[in-house]
Chains A and B, each alone.
Chain A
Amino acid sequence: MVMRIDCKGLYYRKQNKIIRNAAEEGETEFILDNANGQRYIGSGISKKIKITVNGVPGNDLAMFMNGPTIIVNANAQDGVANTMNAGELIVHGSAGDVIGYGMRGGKLYVQGNVGYRAGIHAKEYKKQVPIIIAGGVAGDFCGEYMAGGILVLLGLNRSEGEPIAGNYLGTGMHGGVIYIRGEVDEYTLGKEVSVLPLDSKDMKVLTKHLKEYCGHFGLDLDEIMAEPFIKLQPVSSRPYGSLYAY
C-alpha cells in the first residue's frame, strides 16, 4: 500500500507525525504531494520506508535519518542529510547549503548543484561510509573539515569558465576523499589537501557509485567517465597535531 499525503498547507509537525505513526504501523511507502517547505521530512526514522516528495521539501530533510529512501522531484533546501546515518536520498534538482553535514552513512545523490559547505565534517567508521554525489558545481567550503566519506563533483552543464567548486575546497580536511571531474585552481584549495591522480582502486569505487547515480538520473556512465577526474585527499589525518606546545 502507498500512503498519499496532500501537504498543501500542512504543518510539518503534523505531517511528520502522520509519517512516523504510519511507518510504525507497517506502512512502507509514502507519496507527499504539494510539499512546500515542510522541514525534517524523514528525520530520525529508522525504518526502511520509501518517501517520494513532489514539491520542494524544507530544511533538514532526512536529518538523523537511519534507513529510509527519499526521492525529491524538485530542488531541495538547506541541511539535506544533516547528521544522516543510513538510507538514500535522490534529489532531482539542486540542493542548498550545508548538505551532508556530519553525515556518516548512506547516499546523497543530487542531480544539479549544491550550495556552500557541502559534505562538511562528513565522517566514516569502518564499512559505514557516506557517499555524496552532485552532478553540478559546489559553493565555497566544499568538504570542509571532512573526516571521512566520499564526495564527488561532476560539474555537468557548466557555463563556460564556471569553476566546479568554490574557494576553500577541503579546508581542514583530515579524512575521506573528494573526486572531481575536471580541474580545480590550486589557490581554491585548503592547505590541508593535495591533488592526486586516481589509481585503479579509486576508479573501481568511482565507477561503482557513478553507475548507480547514472541509473537514477538517466545519464550515460561512459560519457561521464570519458572526462578525467582528479582526487583530493588530506595530507594528514592529524592536521593540527603540531599546533600545541605540550
Chain B
Amino acid sequence: MSGCGAVVGGVSLDNVDISTQAVIQGIVSKDGQPASVGYVRLHDKSDEFVAEVPISKQGEFRFFTVAGDWNVVTLIPGGNSRIVAHAELGKILDLEIAVS
C-alpha cells in the first residue's frame, strides 16, 4: 500500500491505468533553471487544499486526480506561484511553472 503521503514527482507510471485518472505533472523552474527545493500543492476549485508533493531534484512533480479545474500552488524558497490547471480523464497534463 502506498502512504497517504507525498511521492516525489517523476514516480513511475508503470502498472497505473491512467484511463481512469487525470494526471497533472510538470517541472518547476526559477531563473530558467529547474528548482531543486520546493513543494507543489493542489487545491480544488474552491481553493481547498487536496495534496502536496515535494519537487524532485530536477524540479518535477505529479498528481493523480479527477477531471476538472485545479489550483496548482508552488512554494520554493524565496518565491511562489499559483496557476489554474484543467485536468482531463485519461490524459496527462504537463505544466511548466516558472517561479519568479
Do A and B make up one complex?
A: no
